[in-house]
Structure 1
């Protein structure tokens, strides 16, 4: 019987894996609250890694430190060996609350990052149209955020991140504000995009089922202060019918295994 690969408190992944993001000794305090302590992680290129753990364990804090949006109190983050000191073009962030410009169309929202980089209007709009189509929004280019459903607005945010051609996409619970049907469709789309776009995804979620379904690797963080407690590599065949995965015994066993490890932290 297949079993997930689990590693306890790793400092690095095997040297043979091509690492794009390196995290070394990351710690972060908010006043008297210690959010993260001594995080050591390597994120492999072209894979989808989920950060999972109890509320308050520092998942989003770690993601924003990797993004360069907040500064760590100790430690370093590197992208392809270069130390991160601020946001950069090799990273794109997908926010939980969409973060769209309400006065701009879907096309303009997606093209905005390219506009900031000085790309010509014709070129950036062509790229924006392509990625709107990739996330299932062909025909909605001229709609404003208030004319779109929550699921559609999140698709615009994902298309915007894809359009700037960043190597690393950082996603902070991007599907939490949509209904279950849209969430499942987003998960299927993300698996497809990960396979076709050759990007590295770092994904924050509270959902064990979601993490097991979409991830090449799952990093479990301990309760505050967040530390790496386990790395899990689900051995799941994601080809064929997506619904089959949710009924797969190995998928169900992996979900249960992670829950058994986390339930002690749930009050």
Structure 2
């Protein structure tokens, strides 16, 4: 494989030529706790960007502000040039706890977003079946969430987000509740889906290894109040065998360099 070099990007950048999400001056406090301070970021279209940083640095808060689920105290977010004030069809959120409808089958759960949009039954079920197959759950369409493993439930959540054909998928630590084997498989699937679907992914994770492996860009946030500390582009050839990547010296060096920058903030 070619060398997996590490490219550091200036944190103060001009707007990117093809940014789909623009974050300008975002700040947020919860009572006396300042979660985020003056966040400026551009998220390039068709890329996977991870938000990484110590616990409590505001990663999930920033993700939910982009989703329109939380209102910032200051600043604004724009998606496709339009300011965000609430959730919208151009964004889909994959929750850490799956957030599935317990009384609905896999097929109904995946089609639910299209159902809310008033799509005909035949159309939404056709789309849902396509994305159920994309995430490797063909044959489970008539199962209920309680009949699935945690990893399978997370796949349902991802298929539901993909089915609404949103431009931006927002993922809040989606693999944290699954075992290591499933997590590795999910990471590979996510890289494949990002390539095949040409969507923009914004991904919150606590795992340095995961961020380096899956990301086109990594945004490092400082301890609370969260600010943009560094932007890293790990230039890794992900077309080769994943096991080779995890053993590659340049991948390991990138992980170690990020760890050296973050470990001072770990209790």
- The interval holding the TM-score normalised by the smaller chain is over 0.9
Residues of 1 paired with 2:71 and 2:48: CA distance?
24
Aligned to 2:121: 121
Q: Indicate the SS of the match to 2:27.
A: strand
Structure 2 CA distance for aligned equivalents of residues 122 and 2 of structure 1 = 46
Partner residue in 2 for 1:200:
200
Shift of 1:2: 5.4
Change (3 A) 1:129 1:193: same
Q: CA separation in 1, counterparts of 2:4 and 2:145?
A: 45
1:164 aligns with 2:164: yes
- State the match for 1:250 in structure 2: 250
Whole-angstrom CA distance in 2 between matches of 1:233 and 1:246: 17
Q: Which residue of 1 aligns with 2:239?
A: 239
Structure-1-length-normalised TM-score: 0.98
- Which stretches of structure 1, 4 residues or longer, exceed 6 Å deviation after superposition? none
Query: Structure 1's 39 and 11: CA in aligned 2 closer, same or farther, altered over 3 A?
Result: farther
| Alignment length (residue pairs) | 265
1:145 lines up with 2:145 in the alignment: yes
1:11, distance to aligned residue in structure 2 (A): 4.0
Pick the aligned partner of 1:9 from 11, 24, 39. 11
| Shift of residue 235, structure 1, vs aligned partner | 1.0
CA distance in 1, matches of 2:172, 2:81: 24
| Distance in 2, Cα, partners of 1:139 & 1:240 | 30
**TM-score, normalising length: structure 2:** 0.98
The question of whether the paired residues in 2 share the 8 Å contact of 1:10 and 1:230 is answered with no
**Is there any run of 5+ residues in structure 2 with no aligned partner, and where?**
none
- Does the CA contact (< 8 Å) of 2:220 and 2:229 recur in 1? yes
User: For the Cα contact (< 8 Å) 1:219–1:232, is it kept in 2?
Assistant: yes
Question: Does the CA contact (< 8 Å) of 1:54 and 1:206 recur in 2?
Answer: yes
* CA deviation map 1:43-87 (0-9, x unaligned): 000000000000000000000000000000000000011100000
Does the CA-based 8 Å contact 1:12-1:41 persist in structure 2? no
Question: In structure 1, what is the Cα distance between the partners aligned to 2:241 and 2:25?
Answer: 41
Q: Contact 1:12–1:40 at 8 Å: present in 2 too?
A: no
SS at match of 2:235: coil
RMSD: 0.9
Q: 1:240: how far off?
A: 2.2
